[in-house]
């Protein structure tokens, strides 16, 4: 019995690790995902979280097996998650789409889930995705109220709708990997795939304030049989952020460095291993700390008392107008809506909830505790 108690205490103290299948409820749907925690993970650590978004017709398990980000997570001590899209797709407002799910809210809820249950670091939220998953990364960076430290996309882009409506609440670092011979998501833009890649880079360059002319660096062309070669375009003077394009002349709709035909078309560039290059770009990026100017906007909202046994009140400094409150549980289920500055929690059990505060053009999320 003493040995069993010791094992239980170790599990509580250090958590579990390895590959786990799980799900949460969001917007009335059961949303599935698989995640991996490195072997030295414990609940006292705030590890980075990388969410990997699959392409059309794929699954979270499928892209996990293709990219093997699990090994990179084990070697570099971060958590990686692979969610499933509805109908094997994500709703990124693409010109051609097969899903109408609230995937923006779902991915936001996933980050909240890991921050609450796995203690992942809210300043080190990372996104990467292939094809439709890449489109979803750009949509999240453009439209979510969350701060993402960095995104990296492969053979994905901005749809016309996302490009037109892109107005990021938080800035982010961007790495875009794309082949010029991509037959699915054209590098040069199309009615089905959206704007040209260069137009997407220009959009982020304008937001980040980078220099117009990038530095072009030839990457090693080690494989002469892949009918393609990569170049790296790095924009400077982006402040605290980074903007890079890896342009693969002759490259197809594929993960560079991964010899698989599952989900891809065209030439596979074999000169670099894209998952490792992606992690090297992401790993040192961080959202601004609470002392930053960006977080000062958040500090305008005063929620009191918090924790509370009953009612919370919202006070927004310098704002007079309609305030909309939405209360969610940690699984992303909407519990209550009100247009008042006060919200009663008396009908809910003790615990942590997510309060979405909308006023004017601003949307913020705050954790509230019912004690």
Question: What are the residue boundaries of the structural domains of the chain, listed by start?
Answer: 17-282, 300-370
pLDDT (0 to 100) of residue 15: 42
Residue 367 DSSP code: E
Task: Please tell me the distance from the alpha carbon of residue 38 to that of residue 208, in angstroms, as a whole number.
Answer: 33
pLDDT (0 to 100) of residue 6: 36
- Whether 210 and 236 have beta carbons less than 8 Å apart is answered as yes
From residue 96, give the alpha-carbon distance in Å to each of 59, 78, 181: 19, 34, 20
pLDDT (0 to 100) of residue 300: 66
Instruction: Report residue 66: phi and psi, to 5°.
Output: -70, -45
From residue 190, give the alpha-carbon distance in Å to each of 16, 203, 298: 46, 17, 39
pLDDT (0 to 100) of residue 262: 65
- Whether 183 and 160 have beta carbons less than 8 Å apart is answered as no
From residue 193, give the alpha-carbon distance in Å to each of 158, 184, 211, 306, 312: 8, 8, 27, 46, 45
Task: Please tell me the distance from the alpha carbon of residue 365 to that of residue 355, in angstroms, as a whole number.
Answer: 6
Q: What count of other Cβ atoms lies within 10 Å of the Cβ of residue 301? A: 18
Task: Please tell me the distance from the alpha carbon of residue 338 to that of residue 329, in angstroms, as a whole number.
Answer: 16
For 71, the 3-state DSSP assignment is: helix
Task: Please tell me the distance from the alpha carbon of residue 304 to that of residue 301, in angstroms, as a whole number.
Answer: 10
What is the DSSP track for 74-103?
Answer: HHHT-EEEEEPPGGGS-----SS-S--S-H
Per residue of the chain (371 residues), give pLDDT as tens: 434 333 333 333 334 569 999 999 998 999 999 999 999 888 888 999 999 999 999 999 999 999 999 999 999 999 999 999 999 999 999 988 788 999 999 999 999 999 988 999 999 999 999 999 999 999 999 999 899 999 999 999 999 999 998 988 889 999 999 999 999 999 999 999 999 999 999 999 999 999 999 999 999 999 989 999 999 999 999 989 999 999 999 999 999 999 976 668 999 999 999 999 999 999 999 998 743 333 444 456 788 887 888 898 888 876 767 888 988 876 667 899 988 888 899 899 887 788 888 887 677 777 777 87
Q: Does domain 17-282 have CATH number 3.10.20.740?
A: no
Task: Please tell me the distance from the alpha carbon of residue 194 to that of residue 205, in angstroms, as a whole number.
Answer: 18
Helix (H) or strand (E) holding 133: helix 132-143
Q: What count of other Cβ atoms lies within 10 Å of the Cβ of residue 161? A: 15
CATH number of 300-370: 2.60.40.3080
């Amino acid at each position: 019995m003493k040995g069993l108690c010791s094992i239980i205490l170790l599990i509580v103290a250090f958590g579990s690790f390895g590959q786990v299948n799980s799900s949460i409820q969001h917007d009335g749907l059961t949303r599935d995902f698989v995640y991996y925690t490195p072997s030295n993970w414990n609940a006292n650590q705030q590890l980075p979280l990388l969410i990997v978004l699959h392409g059309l017709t794929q699954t979270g398990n499928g892209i996990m097996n293709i990219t093997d980000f699990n090994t990179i997570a084990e070697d570099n001590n971060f958590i990686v998650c692979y969610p499933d899209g509805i109908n094997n797709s994500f709703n990124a407002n693409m010109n051609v789409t097969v899903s109408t799910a609230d995937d923006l809210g779902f991915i936001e809820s996933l980050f909240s889930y890991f921050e609450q249950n796995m203690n992942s670091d809210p300043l080190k939220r990372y996104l990467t995705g292939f094809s439709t998953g890449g489109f979803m990364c750009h949509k999240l960076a453009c439209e979510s109220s969350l701060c993402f430290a960095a995104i990296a996309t492969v053979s994905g882009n901005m749809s016309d709708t996302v490009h037109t409506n892109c107005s990021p609440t938080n800035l982010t670092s961007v790495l875009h990997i794309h082949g010029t011979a991509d037959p699915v998501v054209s590098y040069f833009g199309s009615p089905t795939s959206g704007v040209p890649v260069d137009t997407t880079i220009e959009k982020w360059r304008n937001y980040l304030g980078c220099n117009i002319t990038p530095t072009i660096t030839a990457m090693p062309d080690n494989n002469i049989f892949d009918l393609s070669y990569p170049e790296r375009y790095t924009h400077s003077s982006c402040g605290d952020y980074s903007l890079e394009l890896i342009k693969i002349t002759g490259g197809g709709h594929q993960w560079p460095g991964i010899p698989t035909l599952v989900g891809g078309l065209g030439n596979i560039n074999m000169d670099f291993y894209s998952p490792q290059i992606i992690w090297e770009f992401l790993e040192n990026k961080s959202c601004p700390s609470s002392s930053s100017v960006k977080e000062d906007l958040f500090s305008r909202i005063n929620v009191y008392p918090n924790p509370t046994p009953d009612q919370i009140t919202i006070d927004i400094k310098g704002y007079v107008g309609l305030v909309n409150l939405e209360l969610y549980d940690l699984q992303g289920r909407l519990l209550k809506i009100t247009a008042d500055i006060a919200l009663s929690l008396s009908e809910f059990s003790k615990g942590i909830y997510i309060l979405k505060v909308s006023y004017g053009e601003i949307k913020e999320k705050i954790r509230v505790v019912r004690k």
